[in-house]
Amino acid sequence: MIDSDDRSGLSPPELRRYARHLVLPDVGRAGQRALRDARVLLVGAGGLGSPAALYLAAAGVGTLGLVDDDYVDETNLQRQVLYGDADLGRPKVEVAAERIAATNPHVVVRQHPVRLGTDNALAILGDYDLVLDGSDNFPTRYLVNDACVLLGKPNVYGAILRWEGQVSVFGAPAGPCYRCLFREPPPPGMVPNCAEAGVLGVLPGVVGSLQALEAIKLVLGRGDALVGRLVIFEALESRWREVTIPRSPACPVCGDHPTVTELVDYEDFCGIPAAVAAVGPEALVVELAGGGSPLLVDVREQHEWDGGNLEGQGAVHVPMGQLEERIREFPDDRDIVVYCQVGARGQRAVRALRAAGLHRVRNLEGGYRAWIAQMAASAPRDTIGEV
């Protein structure tokens, strides 16, 4: 019979739950206590954060923080295994907290339903022992990197696109940081996002699980962590490659004479221009109902258009990749409202159209997803399912 006053400090339910860990020489009771006492922050509760959160919770990491201001969307379900159809429209951190509690009730989940930025990153990251970065954009990656270096927190990095994934550990003592590998961000628009380029649904499961493994190794102080090494997984060939990343003495953040000693404007650093003229979905509904006749232009990919669009409102489909060659099709004497899925590509489209001499162009804030949410919010209860 298990002693209820076990000297390891683990309760009888914990001793039973983690039995397969306790017999591992590199974990044991001391290691399980270390996991229980650990505080890990996941930046992003999407494709990478989903498997990472589930495995960290199952492993017994005592406190998990989740930073994400997004809501569950149907396009997430192909790869984000924390969510299902019943969760559509709900805050991701809220649903994730419920799933984690169902996976392991011994885990404390801290929800941060905010967008990580220069104003809050140090305060949020400062409460955790290490960070797992599952973000999907360059400003956030540089922000997480710089904040981790300034705070002395290891940063378990992961990235995915199409059939390829990457994992490394940045910000560890004597190790390199993200800027040692990528000193400068790529020009805006050079690297497509997953909505434009696609991603194999199972790939984030592989990469996110590897991130969870690296986080557990760091907590336990066991094994050879991916410090100074970038592992690249090529799913089509089932091939792993490894790239050595030396710490750069000239790195502006972690180098011998750092020049970045505080957080900066990361959208500006990544060359992302200021926000363009925009209209919210509620205002657009009023404008259309009042007789306004802006031309609605959908710049999403074909599969996104096929999955739902505003053709009934007169929208035309011009994917981002065709925008430049079809500029002459746009009227210069009519208001134009561009929309994509969530708003980012729409901003790029507005800038391209304005650069071509069309000045009566606005972006739909929040994109098609925000439009659908507005329709659902304003519809009578018994017709919501028909929106």
β-strand partners of 191: none
**141 contact partners, CB below 8 Å, separation of at least 6:** 133, 135, 157, 159, 178
List the one residue out of 386, 281, 284 whose CA is nearest residue 342.
281
| Gap between the Cα atoms of 82 and 79, Å rounded | 9
Q: Going along 235-282, which residue ranges are E strands?
A: 239-244, 278-279
For residues 353 and 361, the answer to whether their CB atoms sit within 8 Å is yes
Q: What dihedral do alpha carbons 310, 315, 317, 320 form, nearest 10°?
A: -90
Q: State the pLDDT at residue 4.
A: 41
List the chain domain ranges.
38-269, 278-386
Q: Write out the DSSP string of 73-90.
A: -GGGGGT-TT--GGGTTS
Q: Provide the pLDDT confidence category of residue 255 given band limits of 50, 70 and 90.
A: very high
What CA–CA distance (Å, rounded) separates 41 from 225? 18
Mean pLDDT check: name the lowest of 93-97, 163-167, 183-187, 217-221: 183-187
The number of CA neighbours under 13 Å toward the Cβ of 53 is 36
Confidence (pLDDT) at 385: 33
Q: Are 340 and 368 a contacting pair, CB within 8 Å?
A: yes
Of 148, 251, 270, 340, which one is the catalytic site residue?
340
Residue 274: pLDDT band with limits 50, 70, 90: low
Q: Convert 316-342 to b/e letters by CB count within 10 Å (16 or more is b).
A: ebbbbeebeeeeeebeeeeebbbbbbb
Q: Are 233 and 240 in contact (CB under 8 A)?
A: yes
Is residue 378 over pLDDT 80?
no
Least trusted range by pLDDT, from 102-106, 144-148, 286-290: 286-290
- With bands split at pLDDT 50, 70 and 90, how would you rate the model's confidence at 381? very low
Looking at residue 273, what is its pLDDT? 67
- Average pLDDT of the residues in 278-301: 88
| Long-range pairs for 244-252: beta carbons < 8 A, 24 or more residues apart | 245/168, 245/176, 245/180, 245/181, 246/176, 246/180, 247/174, 247/175, 247/176, 247/177, 247/180, 248/176, 248/179, 248/180, 248/183, 251/176, 251/177, 251/179, 251/180, 251/183, 252/179, 252/183
Q: Which pair of tokens denotes residue 21?
A: 């860990």
For residue 110, pLDDT over 80 is answered with yes
pLDDT score recorded for residue 271:
78
User: pLDDT above 70 covers what percent of the chain?
Assistant: 92
If one compares 189 and 29, the residue with the highest pLDDT of the two is 29
* The pLDDT value given to residue 7: 59
pLDDT of 2 > 70? The answer is no
pLDDT for position 384: 32
Greater confidence, 220 or 276? 220
* pLDDT at res. 359: 84
Give the CATH number of domain 278-386; options: 3.30.60.50, 3.30.2130.30, 3.40.250.10, 3.30.499.10.
3.40.250.10
Q: What is the pLDDT of residue 376?
A: 76
Is 148 known to be catalytic? no
pLDDT at residue 64 tops 60: yes
Q: Distance of CA 92 to CAs 97, 256, 341, Å?
A: 8, 40, 17
Confidence of residue 361 (pLDDT cuts 50, 70, 90): very high
The 10s digit of each residue's pLDDT in 12-59 is 999 999 999 999 999 999 999 999 999 999 999 999 999 999 999 999
Domains 38-269 and 278-386 share a fold: no
Is residue 107's pLDDT more than 90? yes
- Whole-number Å distance between alpha carbons of 146 and 171: 9
Per-residue model confidence (pLDDT) at position 190: 67
Is residue 1's pLDDT more than 70?
no
Superfamily assignment of 38-269 in CATH? NAD(P)-binding Rossmann-like Domain (3.40.50.720)
Q: pTM here? A: 0.77
**What would the two tokens of residue 169 be?**
């550990």
Residue 217's pLDDT is 98
Q: Which of 168, 111, 113 is nearest to 145 (CA)?
A: 168
Cα–Cα distance, 354 to 352 (Å, whole number): 6
Catalytic entry in 148, 194, 254, 270: 194
Q: What is the pLDDT of residue 3?
A: 37
pLDDT at 203: 95
**Per-residue pLDDT reduced to its tens digit, 69-80:** 998 988 899 999
Please report the pLDDT score of residue 373 as a whole number.
Answer: 84
Range of lowest pLDDT (113-122, 164-173, 189-198, 315-324): 189-198
For the stretch 305-341, pLDDT in tens is 999 999 999 999 999 889 989 988 998 889 999 999 8
In the prediction, which pLDDT does 383 show?
A: 35
Average pLDDT value for the chain: 90
Provide, rounded to the nearest whole percent, the portion of the chain with pLDDT above 90.
Answer: 66
**Which 8-state DSSP code applies to residue 387?**
-
Residue 194: active-site member: yes
How far, in Å, CA of 86 to CA of 93, rounded? Answer: 15
